[in-house]
Structures are given as structure tokens and as C-alpha cells.
Structure 1
Amino acid sequence: MRLRTFLLVGALGVTLAGCSLSSGGDSGGGQGERKVVLVTHDSFAMGDDVLKKFTDDTGITIDVRRVGDAGALTNQLVLTKGSPIGDVAYGVDTTFASRALDEDVFAEYAPDAPLPAGPADHAIDDTNRLTAVDIGDVCLNIDPAALAAKGVPEPTGYADLAKPEYKDLLVVEDPATSSPGLAYLLGTIAQLGDGWQDHWRALKANGVQVVSGWEEAYTQEFSGSSGKGPRPIVVSYASSPSAELDEAGNPRTKAVLGTCFRQVEYAGVLKGAAHADDAEKVMDFLLSDEFQSQVPEQMYVYPARAGVTLPEAWQKAAPLPTAAAELPSEQIQQNRERWIGEWRAIVRG
């Protein structure tokens, strides 16, 4: 899971994951209550004051239902598309967006049409069924002090990791079980093309460690985190260094920007939503300055809307990468399982 998973704060009016996922209808509310069910991933968070202001302004309460990671969320939406489990879904990402669109899960709606800069740049197609809300670039993160202590230079790209001096220094997440692990695999495919398999063979020979998820990789194995693990290179997020500042406010870790893959998270009104009109107002809210300005501090990802000021620590330690690799969502959908199978045969075989 992401760095943000264990930094989340509670949100006013949020229904926790243990609640029923029955439907978007009113459940236990008073007469005339307006409620929109927002189905999302486990890492969703937003400040009490921001959600309360939306309720005060509109009369609509946002009822958050968390259903796992992006893959689990997409699966739930597909399996229940005939009787949707909510009104709005937030968190279907680049790696699963085409599947959700192919399965006709979302209705057409464009917040603030025409879309503002940022979300418009990340539109998957022209149907306005999914709208970009945030960006979470996945990159190598390094612990410069630990590398210096070993007399090893900081890597600048994928090729460095296969060199003998980097033996047993890298930990990655399994792309079959981890969203950042999959994004990192896709980054190697996007940048290395047909050479991606040879690259992973070289990494295996050079002692790459593979773990099931982000939390184990970052908090237990990575030397630059609070866990003080043994490995100074990890797959994480471009934003992660903003949470690893020293007492003077300087970052203790770095993202290797030449290894970033752009992972965009989308939201949309679910087709057949019980409260479609109010769901559209929630979509407008997700693109508003009020919500977008809180995205970095609340969820440790970048706002999709252009021109939103990043927190001071982010400006210093985690500026948004300008040249992250990308792959078309349809290409990912068509090849995801095959690529994961080939990766496992190489690295796990």
C-alpha cells in the first residue's frame, strides 16, 4: 500500500470499511437526507472541515465506502454494475481504467465542462465517463546517506541497477499483488520496450528482493524510512521524500525521476446511480480548488488540477516529475496479465 495508507486522518461523515456495501440508496438516514455514496480505495482521506463545508454548501453528505486497492475497487464495480454499490467511484487508476470503461461501469459526466487544465490532459477518451482527480507517480526512491556509506553512487536510471555495485540493494513489490509494483513494471516496459525482460533477468541476477506490497518494502526493507531496513533503494512514489524530512526540513531521501511511471487516479458517476444528480455535484467537488488543494497532505498524491499550489515541503522535496513514462490504458488492459505472467516466470521462476 501507499505511504499515505498509514498517514490518513478520519473524515467527518465517513462510513468505515466495515459498513455494508449494499447500494447507493438511503440507509439509516433521516427523512429528506441527501447522501451520496462514494466508493473508493482504502487510501482515501479528506479533512473534516473540507467535507463539512461541502455538506453545509450543498446539503449533501458524502458517505465513503472503502473496498480495497484499485484492482479490488474495479472488480467490485464490474461485478455489481447491474446494481451499483454507490453513486460515485474514485480511485480506478491508469492500470485498470480501460477495464472499467470496457465493462460500461460509468455514466457520462464532465465536471466543470470544459474540463480544467490537468484533468483534460489526462482524459482517457472523449466520453467523459472518467475524470482525472490525482496523480501518483511511481519511481525508485533512494537513501543517499546509506549509498554514500557503501561508496555507491546514486543511480540515475534503470540501467544502473544491474551493475555489480548495486547487488542486493534494491527491493521492489510484486506486480501481481501491489499497485506500485505493477506501475513500476509498466515503467520498465514503457521505457525499455523489448528489452524489459532482459532488464529484469539482470536484476534477478543482481539480488533484487521482491515483497508482496508497498508497506513491507518501504517501512521494513528500505533504509531511508522509519523502519531502517537494509536496502537503500525501493520502489515508492515521487511524493514519498516529502514525508522523510530531517529536523532542518531537508529531505533525507530522493526519488529517481528518470524511473517514474505516471499513475493517474480517476473518478466517475456510476451508471444507474441512485442519486445521479447529487453524484454530479460530488464530482464537481472532487475537481474544486477546496478538494484539490488538500489532496497532497491528505492522500500523499499530486492534485490533477493544474495550478494548485503544493505544500512547501513538496515544493522542496517532491516536485511533480515532468517526464514520467506512460502507456495507453487500452494497451495496459490488453497486456496486463501476460506481462505479469512473464515477469513472474523471470523473477519468481
Structure 2
Amino acid sequence: MRTHSRSKTRVFALAALPLAGVLALTGCGAADAGEPAANNPKRVSIVVHDSFVDGDAFAAAASKATGFDVEVLTAGDGGELANKLVLTKGAPIADAFFGIDNTFASRLIDNDVVEPVAVDALPERAVKIAAELDGATAEQVPLVPIDIGATCVNIDSDWFAEHGVAEPATFDDLADPQYKDLAVLLDPTGSSTGASFMIATIAKFGEDGFVDYWKSLEANGARIVQGWTEAYNTEFSGVNEAGSRPIVVSYSTSPAFTVNDDETASNTRALLDTCSSQTEFAGVLKGSANPEGALAVVNYLLSEEFQSGIADQMYMYPVDESIELPSSWAKFAPLPADGQAHDLSSAEIQAGLDGWLRTLGDAVGL
């Protein structure tokens, strides 16, 4: 069994995270973590989610590229990272951050956690994405897009061929009795991948219809598990021969992980009519001890050197469209076409997320 390394489990309830947990960070990199930044103007720190690239390698490369002593701090998953940044507003845990996605972007902006940065050096696609954020202007943006992707239902095509069952293609198909007991979903109260799928169902069925849709999935035998790793690497038959579920919520890029050795075929496929777009942002934290260094690290995240490794290391698309992608991605890891994804704005997500999670949790016993 191979294991896909893109794990995105998150905790959403801001009030549930004690302040002591906020300060429990893991650090690595070139800098001396015990020396205050005020005493070392070349030191700069960036806090990231735990699906980031190798921290030591990044710190070394970023230090060389920027001339600063870069330290990488890991703050758990992306939801935990957002909570920590809000709870430490005014006394930030780092100078810069990476890994806040569009689910939580408005939370940082609304709580005045970030320092806007100039847009003159951003790739064209990054400018377009950032322009949709609250507080963005023609000169500055509050958050900087670094990579993009999409959460989608994935299927084990080999399983369906072997069992003589037609492959599902749409949201409605997943509730069809012929797919009873075949799907594994993610608890949206504990996983951002699961929350992204929930958001897709809200965009598709509306706030008045998405709960009934989830009830129909539950009635059809869908299994809801806590995290993406358990769902994809354990339950999903497409990567684990012992897995019993040929339908799973994952990423549009996941089929690139299951290609054969000569990259001519993949045994899994993403259903692009079930996707929700995802963008991961970086930025400078307000109150940073080294805002110049923080901006330099954010700019490094946009560099060709870093952007060219995003696909292989994080299974996301680089925001810079000029970056050459792995050869298998065009066929096996396409993004949804324009207008195909089921999306809500970050502001809509921020306004409704807590209520949606409570309502759905009560309805299906999460």
C-alpha cells in the first residue's frame, strides 16, 4: 500500500483552542529560536501548517535566497493555524505565515491580523484571486495566494470495472442505491477537506437543502470518518487493497498519485462536477518584529525556485501559471473548468461556517 502524504485535518472551533495550545509550536530552521528578533535583525520566522514542505530544507533555501536567517514554525493543521494567529493578534507567534486557505481567509482579515502587502510583483493569477478578498485594492492585498487546488470526490475506477458497476459522476449519484455502502466522507467539523466538500454541497443544494443531501448520503451507507488520511489511505480501495470503499473525498490532483510506473494510466479518477476550489495564502503578520524579512520570505514563496516544487511536494498547483507541471498532471490532475467548481466566497464561508457545522453535526450525528 502506498500512502498519499497530503494530510489536511483541521479543527474549526476557535473557542475550543486554549491559549496554552496556541503557544505550543514546533520550530526548525537556520535561526536561533531563543534569540529575540529585536536582538537579531536578520532573523525572520514563518509559521506554517503541518502539510508544508520539509521545514529544514525550506529554511536553508529561503535563508540563502533572502539573506535572512529563516526559521520555520509548525502550528498543526490549517484550522489550528488560523485560530492561533487570531488568538495571538498583536503579539504574533511569527513574522509571516503560510497555509491559511479560503475557508479561513476572512477570519484573518476581519480580525485585523495581517499587514497588507504590495501587489506589483504578484503573478497574474495571484492578483486575480487576491482581488476578491475583502480589503484588497489595486495597490495592496491582505493575503498573498501561493497555491491552488480543488477538493473533489475520487473513485477507484478499477473497482467499478471489476464489479460491473457504472461509475458515479455527480453529487446525486452518490445517493443512488446502487452505490450503497461504497462512499467514505470526511467529518467537516474536524477536516478542512471535509469542510470544503460540505461547502460544495451548500453551493450546489443551498443552505436549505444541503443537510437533506447529507442525510441521503448517510442513509445510503456513506461512512463519515474524522480525517483525510484515514479516509484516503485506509478506507479507499484505490490505494489500499484492504480498503472497502471505492468512493472518497480527496483532491483533484490525487489521481496523479495513483498513476502507473510509465504514467500512462491511473486507477483512480476525480469527479470534477463535485469539486470546490481551494487557495492557500501567505502573508505578513501585523506586529511582526521583522516585517521586511517577513515580506522577503513571502516573496520567496512566489519565486520560481519554490513554486516549481509545489506540485511534487504538496500536490497543489503553483499560483504562477508559468511553472512547468509534472507531465502526468494534464491528464490525471486537472483543475475543474471555469465555472465548474461549486464555490462560495470567503466572506460567505466566514459568515455561515459555524452555523452550517452545528446544523449538519446535529442532523447526522457528527
Q: Does 1:163 align with 2:171?
A: no
Structure 1 residue runs without a partner (length 5+): 7-15
Maintained 8 Å contact 1:50/1:290: no
Maintained 8 Å contact 2:155/2:246: yes
Maintained 8 Å contact 2:236/2:244: yes
**Corresponding residue of 1:84:** 92
Give the TM-score of the pair, scaled to structure 2.
0.85
Residue 38 (structure 1) shift: 0.7
Question: SS of 1:78's equivalent?
Answer: helix
Residue 47 (structure 1) shift: 8.5
CA 1:228 to 1:35, structure 2 compared with 1: closer, same or farther past 3 Å? farther
**Corresponding residue of 1:42:** 50
Maintained 8 Å contact 2:149/2:335: no
Say which of 95, 113, 122 aligns to 1:115: 122
Residue 33 (structure 1) shift: 6.9
Separation in structure 2 between the aligned mates of residue 191 and residue 44 of structure 1, nearest angstrom = 31
**Backbone CA RMSD of aligned residues:** 2.5
CA 1:152 to 1:208, structure 2 compared with 1: closer, same or farther past 3 Å? same
Maintained 8 Å contact 1:223/1:232: yes
**Corresponding residue of 2:305:** 290
Maintained 8 Å contact 1:174/1:212: yes
Separation in structure 2 between the aligned mates of residue 25 and residue 190 of structure 1, nearest angstrom = 46
**Counterpart amino acid of residue 129 in structure 2:** H
CA 1:271 to 1:179, structure 2 compared with 1: closer, same or farther past 3 Å? same
Separation in structure 2 between the aligned mates of residue 47 and residue 18 of structure 1, nearest angstrom = 10
The structure 1 segments of at least 4 consecutive aligned residues displaced by more than 4 Å after TM superposition are 28-33, 46-51
**Counterpart amino acid of residue 97 in structure 2:** A
**Corresponding residue of 1:243:** 257
Maintained 8 Å contact 2:122/2:302: no
**Corresponding residue of 2:235:** 221
**Counterpart amino acid of residue 333 in structure 1:** Q
Question: SS of 2:217's equivalent?
Answer: helix
Separation in structure 2 between the aligned mates of residue 29 and residue 311 of structure 1, nearest angstrom = 41
* Residues 1-349 of structure 1 aligned to structure 2 (within 5 Å): 3-5=4-6, 18-19=26-27, 27-28=34-35, 34-45=42-53, 52-110=60-118, 113=120, 115-123=122-130, 124-125=133-134, 126=136, 128-193=141-206, 194-226=208-240, 228-249=242-263, 250-322=265-337, 323-348=340-365
Cα deviation 1:134-167 (Å, max 9, x = unaligned): 1131000100111122222111110101111000
Separation in structure 1 between the aligned mates of residue 154 and residue 65 of structure 2, nearest angstrom = 41
Cα deviation 1:87-118 (Å, max 9, x = unaligned): 0011111111111111100001135x153211
Greater mean alpha carbon deviation, residues 239-248 or residues 31-40? 31-40
Give the TM-score of the pair, scaled to structure 1.
0.89
CA 1:282 to 1:151, structure 2 compared with 1: closer, same or farther past 3 Å? same
Question: SS of 2:146's equivalent?
Answer: strand
Cα deviation 1:241-274 (Å, max 9, x = unaligned): 1111223322111111111100111111000101
CA 1:242 to 1:257, structure 2 compared with 1: closer, same or farther past 3 Å? same
CA 1:58 to 1:168, structure 2 compared with 1: closer, same or farther past 3 Å? same
Separation in structure 2 between the aligned mates of residue 187 and residue 345 of structure 1, nearest angstrom = 19
Structure 2 residue runs without a partner (length 5+): 8-23
**Counterpart amino acid of residue 283 in structure 1:** V
CA 1:302 to 1:46, structure 2 compared with 1: closer, same or farther past 3 Å? farther
Maintained 8 Å contact 1:219/1:227: no
Maintained 8 Å contact 2:144/2:281: yes
**Corresponding residue of 2:20:** none
Question: SS of 1:273's equivalent?
Answer: coil
Residue 288 (structure 1) shift: 1.6
Residue 53 (structure 1) shift: 4.5
Separation in structure 2 between the aligned mates of residue 3 and residue 101 of structure 1, nearest angstrom = 32
Maintained 8 Å contact 2:86/2:111: yes
Separation in structure 2 between the aligned mates of residue 86 and residue 36 of structure 1, nearest angstrom = 8
Residue 296 (structure 1) shift: 0.8
Greater mean alpha carbon deviation, residues 95-104 or residues 28-37? 28-37
Cα deviation 1:212-247 (Å, max 9, x = unaligned): 000110111100013640000000011111111223
Separation in structure 2 between the aligned mates of residue 248 and residue 306 of structure 1, nearest angstrom = 25
Q: How much identity, in percent, do the aligned residues show?
A: 43
Maintained 8 Å contact 1:135/1:302: yes
Residue 205 (structure 1) shift: 1.1
Residue 84 (structure 1) shift: 0.5
